[in-house]
Amino acid sequence: MRAIRAIAVNTFREAVRNKILYSLVFFALVMMLFSLVLDQATVGQRNKIIKDLGLGSINIFGVIIAIVVGINLVYKEIEKRTIYPILAKPVRRSQFLIGKYFGILLTLAVETLFMSAFLFLLVFFYEGVFDTHLPLALFMIFIELAVVSAVAIFFSSFSTPFLSGMFTFAIYVIGHLTTYLQEFGANSGSAILKALTTFFYYMLPNLERFNLKAEAVYQIPVESAKIYLSLLYAFLYIVMVLTLSVLSFERRDFK
C-alpha cells in the first residue's frame, strides 16, 4: 500500500514538474476567457456560452492531459530504465501500475479542480451567484477522465505511446457514439454490422453516460440513481481495464 502511494505521489510530482501540463492548462484558461468575448457577441441567453465553453474546455483539455500523461507514464519508465530499481525492490508490477494510475488520477483531479475554480469565478463574476449545477457535471467529467486514463494505461502497458495515443483517442471518440452505432447496426439489416456494433457497445466505455454538461447548463435535475449507476459502471469498467493492463504488463520483458 505504501509502495502504491509512493509511486502515485511520484507520478504526480513528475506531471507537475512537466511543462506540457502547464501549457495545456493555460490553453484551457485562454479558451474560457475567450468565451467572455463570444458571450458579448451572442444574443439571447447570456452565460450559456461561458458555461458551454468552460465545461467543454475542462473536458477536452482534461482528456488531452489524460491521454498525453497516460500513454507516456509507463513507456517513459521503461524507455529510460527508471522502472528497474523499482521492480527490483519488493514491489509488484501490479502495484506499480496501480500506483501510476492513482498518480494520474491525482494529477487530473488537481487540474480539474483548478480549472473548475476558474470557471466558477467566471460564472460568479457574470451571474453574481455560485452555480450549484456545475459541480455535478464537473465531477462526472473527472469520472470520464478516470475511464479514459485507464484506457490509456491499458494500451501503454503493451504498446508505444504513438499507437496508444491513437487507440485511446479513437476509443474516446467512439466511446461517445456507441449508443448511436449500436442502433445504427441493429437497424442496418447486416448481421456482421450488427454483431460488430453490439460488440463495441459492450466492450468500449459508453462515455456519454458521464456527460451531464447539458443538464448543468440548462439546470435540469438529474436522478441520483442515474449518478450512482454511472459511478458503479465507471468503477467496474476501470477495474476491468486495469486488471487487463496488469495481465499484459506482468508478461512483459523490460528491454
Partner 1 sequence: MFDKFSPKTKKVVLIIGVVLPLFFTQAYLQQPLNAYKVNQREDFLYLPSGDYLKPLALGYNQVVADLLWIKTVHYFGSHFTTDKEYPWLHHILSIIIDLDPQFDFPYYFGGIVLSMEADQKDRANDILARGMEAYPEKWEYPFYIGFNHYYHDGNPAAALPFIEKAAALPKVPEFVKSLVGTLYLETGKKETALQFFRKIYENTSDDLVREKISMKVEKILSEEVNHDIRD
Partner 2 sequence: MTSAIEIKGLSKTFRSEFLQKEKKVLSNLNLSVESGTIFGFLGPNGAGKTTTIKLLTGLIHPTSGTAFIFGKSIREIVSREKMGFLPERPYFYEYLTGLEFLNFCGELFGLSRSSRDKKIDELLELVDLKGSEKMQMRQYSKGMLQRIGLAQALFNDPELVIMDEPMSGLDPVGRKEVRDIILHLKDEGKTVFFSTHILSDAELICDEVAILIGGTLRNQGKLEDFLNPKVKSIEVCLRGVSKEQLSQIKPMLSSMTFHDERILVCLDREERLEKLLAWVAQEKAQVISITPRKETLEDLFLEEYKVGVKA
Determine if 249 is a binding residue for partner 1 (CB under 8 A): no
Of 20, 163, 208, 252, the one binding partner 1 (CB under 8 A) is 208
Whole-number Å distance between alpha carbons of 218 and 145: 23
Show the cell assigned to 50. Answer: 461561458
Look-up: residue for cell 500523461? 69
| Contact between 14 and partner 2 per CB under 8 A | yes
Query: Which amino acid, residue 194?
Result: K
When asked if residue 10 is in the footprint of partner 2 (CB under 8 A), the reply is yes
Alpha-carbon gap, residue 3 to 9, rounded angstroms: 10
Q: Please give the single-letter amino acid code of residue 235.
A: F
By CB under 8 A, residue 46 contacts partner 2: no
| Residue of 22, 170, 229, 254 interacting with partner 1 (CB under 8 A) | 229
Smallest CA-to-CA distance from 36 within 23, 45, 46 is with 46
Tell me the closest approach of the beta carbon of residue 105 to partner 2, in angstroms: 18
Please state the φ and ψ torsions of residue 155, each to the nearest 5 degrees: -65, -40
Site string for partner 2, 69-98 (x = CB under 8 A): -----------xxxxxxxxxxxxx------
Closer Cβ to partner 1, 17 or 132, answer by number? 132
Among the listed ranges 3-11, 75-83, 131-139, 198-206, the one in contact with partner 1 (CB under 8 A) is 198-206
Q: Which residues contact 234 (CB under 8 A, 6 or more apart)?
A: 143, 144, 146, 147, 209, 210
Cell triple for 229: 449507476
- 212 sits near partner 2 (criterion: CB under 8 A): no
> Which parts of 31-97 are beta strand (E)?
none
For the chain, give me the number of helices (H) and strands (E)?
A: 11, 0
Interacting residues of 49 by C-beta distance below 8 A, sequence separation 6+: 35, 38, 39, 42
Touching partner 1, residues 14-73 (CB under 8 A): 38, 49, 52, 56
Residues in binding contact with partner 2, number by CB under 8 A:
28
What cell was used for 179? 449508443
Q: How far is the CB of 9 from partner 2 (least distance, A)?
A: 8
Q: Using CB under 8 A as the criterion, which residues of the chain lie in contact with partner 1 when the complex forms?
A: 38, 49, 52, 56, 177, 179-181, 183-184, 187, 201-202, 206, 208-209, 213-215, 217-218, 220, 223, 225-226, 229-230, 232-233, 236-237, 239-240, 243-244, 246-247, 250-251
Q: Using CB under 8 A as the criterion, which residues of the chain lie in contact with partner 2 when the complex forms?
A: 1-3, 5-7, 9-10, 13-14, 17-18, 80-92, 251, 253-254
